[in-house]
Chain A
């Protein structure tokens, strides 16, 4: 467990900014408590300083997880966001998309979102923008990247893909072994 290096911080924040933009600042300067990002076995965890200090007494081998895992660095140095950070990025998300009940299960099985399944969408979402996917009951289901801007979407046929799948909460079941 160690703080992120400068390079790592840059790649990580760039990725994160795709979803929450400047709201990253809210994650770092919280009113209630001091929180920090820590790297442990290639994974980035977000946790309070208190917890971090306590966790230092646990050996590297035995430490499995602490706080909330945001994602991991791949071998090539890129950063991949995991669905586990959904709680936080949903809280600070800039662009959102709501899908109809009949589109929930296809998305939770890892499919992209087609136009027919879209219930609502944030206005002025540009192309290739990270968006948080909600069900109509406002339950965050995952996140993805828009394939078209909101305005372009209007002209598309119903079966066209609108959002590329990035992560969904179905992964808790599907990828339990590889995710953690």
Chain B
């Protein structure tokens, strides 16, 4: 029992039990050296008889050791000032009887025993003996696994009335807790040195660190703090402080612009957000869809395997999907591909079509269809019966759409190039409509990383505005009286709430004649019914979200509506303004132009007002004079010498 051993622990223990005086430290070291957390609690529960027996026995066992530890006596004695000696007789009576019995117990559960000894010795021996008793225990520590510490003895000592068990046990509990914490602290300081509270860098520091390694560790630290904020926070720093720093670091580390970063960050929990950003750095697996119009999945798989392609079915949820692991030939140029046996298509884009579930002989509209992956899937599900209207607003993209439709052998398709918002006017009464709306593409960042930086607040506003217009057109173009259909599926490859739940919620509000129905997809995360300050219709939980880090497919959103009646609700007076704003139809190209014009006008107005404010009479005077001189020279041939600064003086 070297007083100085384990200096580190000694310090920690000493800090925690600051009651001790400086000269008592060595004793504290001894007693605390092997403190465990369970002991105090067991104390209170033990039967009185056994408890008392043990100390008695111990006293006899350890009597010999007494001399060695005389130094400790003084140290310990302070604790026993108020110990009562009323149990002496009882104690004596037990000594002989129980000695043997407890030898084994002692060995079996050293820790407990030692601790009990401590308590009861302190309790039972008188003032004079108390010191010795404690002392014995002190000497005991090493062999017996030892005891609790002085704190405990303190408690027992201070409570004169032994019957007052409640207070004692309460104190014991508190103490046990404290000790547990101390022990924990000791452990962690030893094991994990960096467990100190993470200190947020100052602004200058944060700006300084452009080293990605540093930024990454900082991200990890902050995430750790945020996950256990109550305990890990530093001083009074608010959660917002940490989040602000985290957002900055994430922007730097993953290369997003701050607006988008904030948008995406709040969709997820902190650690999930990191997973999401991490998943966006990794490409999704290549998947292909079997064209059931021309072949079957098994035959296709066989044909591709013969070409050395390594593939597997995509999952239980799809009967036509194949996942390609690696291929010695380009998968987009095999004879099978050219013959239209399959389509290169992301797994996520199967989902809206599966949700739409087109039936044979229906009339279906795909409002934004290029490059035709979903349209051809629809046609395949309908087995080339009925009609598919594939629309896309971009004429350039319709080429790929037509090519794919022909390559895959879709014979019932009409391709047109309208703005989706024109739709109920061009042709309506469809059985089903798929609206895979143009979106910011925040779900497919792994495919197109430019999204990270080139999407601003304006883009999001424009997109969600467009989406809201499109979804209303889609709803109005469906025939609610259709025997088999009357469904609309809205989907985006974005994960932001603005483009998904918000749009769907808007549609529900504006068109009471539709309701959300289950998408029929048995996986995916439920849509939000509330998000930050927004509260949506409760049926939004029927929609489905897909995330790259969760489902290993692109971020996606699918909502399915059923139209109940064909009556377009009359606009209410108070909604009119709002509606006019949302439904005002402007073709896409013109929309931009108009925006630009508007902007230009605004800019001009701004410049004018600025000029009006900063009129400079002196400058004007000079200009006027110069032009007058010019005029004179031109008209009458008089040449005036420029008078420098004279005008300034006059004014």
Contact = CB atoms under 8 A, between A and B. Distances in A.
Interface of A: 47-48, 50-51, 54-55, 57-59, 61-69, 84, 87, 104-105, 108, 135, 137, 139-141, 169-170, 172-173, 176-177, 179-180
17 contacts: A47-B411, A51-B412, A55-B414, A58-B426, A62-B417, A63-B415, A63-B417, A64-B401, A64-B415, A65-B406, A69-B406, A135-B335, A141-B339, A169-B335, A172-B403, A180-B403, A180-B406
A177 B399 contact: yes
B303 A137 contact: yes
A91 to B, nearest CB: 11
Among A140, A172, A176, A177, chain B packs the most CB atoms within 10 A around the CB of A172
Given A172-B403, A177-B399, A68 B414 contact: no
B399 to A, nearest CB: 5
A41 B411 CA distance: 19
A39 B335 CA distance: 30
B405 interface: yes
Contacts, number: 93
A54 B365 CA distance: 12
B338 A170 contact: yes
Contacts of A108: 335, 338
A66 to B, nearest CB: 5
A68 B402 CA distance: 10
B70 interface: no
Contact of B427 (A54, A66, A84): A54
B398 interface: yes
Interface residues of B, number: 32
Per CB-CB distance, the 8 closest pairs between chain A and chain B, nearest first, are A169-B338, A84-B406, A64-B415, A65-B415, A180-B402, A66-B414, A65-B402, A57-B427
B387 A50 contact: yes
Contacts of B416: 58, 62-64
Given A50-B387, A51-B387, A139-B339, A65 B426 contact: no
B418 interface: yes
Contact of B399 (A55, A104, A180): A180
Interface string B304-340: 0000000000000000000000000000110110111
A60 B417 CA distance: 10
Nearest to B398: A64
B339 A58 contact: no
A64 B333 CA distance: 25
Contacts of A55: 414
Nearest to A87: B409
Contacts of B335: 104-105, 108, 135, 139, 141, 169
B407 interface: yes
Among B335, B340, B413, chain A packs the most CB atoms within 10 A around the CB of B335
B406 A172 contact: yes
A142 to B, nearest CB: 9
B105 interface: no
Interface of B: 303, 332-333, 335-336, 338-341, 363, 387, 395, 398-403, 405-407, 409, 411-418, 426-427
A169 B415 contact: no
B338 A64 contact: no
Given A65-B402, A69-B406, 13 more contacts: A51-B414, A61-B417, A62-B417, A63-B415, A64-B401, A67-B412, A68-B406, A104-B335, A172-B406, A172-B407, A173-B332, A173-B338, A180-B406
B29 to A, nearest CB: 80
Among A50, A64, A169, A170, chain B packs the most CB atoms within 10 A around the CB of A64
A95 B588 CA distance: 50
B385 to A, nearest CB: 10
A140 B341 CA distance: 11
Contacts of A61: 417
B403 A179 contact: yes
Given A65-B405, A176-B399, A54 B339 contact: no
A156 B418 CA distance: 55
A74 to B, nearest CB: 19
Nearest to A178: B399
Contact of A57 (B333, B400, B401, B426): B426
Nearest to A67: B411
Nearest to A55: B414
B418 A62 contact: yes
A68 B333 CA distance: 22
B387 A54 contact: yes
A141 B413 CA distance: 23
Among B387, B395, B414, chain A packs the most CB atoms within 10 A around the CB of B414
Among A55, A65, A108, A179, chain B packs the most CB atoms within 10 A around the CB of A65
A169 B418 contact: no
A68 B413 CA distance: 8
B360 to A, nearest CB: 13
Nearest to A135: B335
A67 B332 CA distance: 24
A131 B525 CA distance: 53
B400 A48 contact: no
Contacts of A105: 335
Contacts of B413: 65-67
A141 to B, nearest CB: 7
Contacts of A67: 411-414
Contacts of B402: 64-65, 69, 180
Contacts of B333: 173
Given A64-B402, A69-B406, A139-B335, A54 B414 contact: yes
A66 B414 CA distance: 4
A104 B417 CA distance: 36
B86 to A, nearest CB: 101
Contacts of B338: 108, 141, 169-170, 172-173
A66 B395 CA distance: 15
B414 A65 contact: yes
A54 B415 CA distance: 12
Contacts of B303: 137
A30 B409 CA distance: 18
A83 B371 CA distance: 19
B407 A169 contact: yes
A169 B336 CA distance: 10
Nearest to B392: A64
Nearest to A104: B335
A47 to B, nearest CB: 8
Contact of B339 (A64, A140, A177): A140
B321 to A, nearest CB: 21
B412 A48 contact: yes
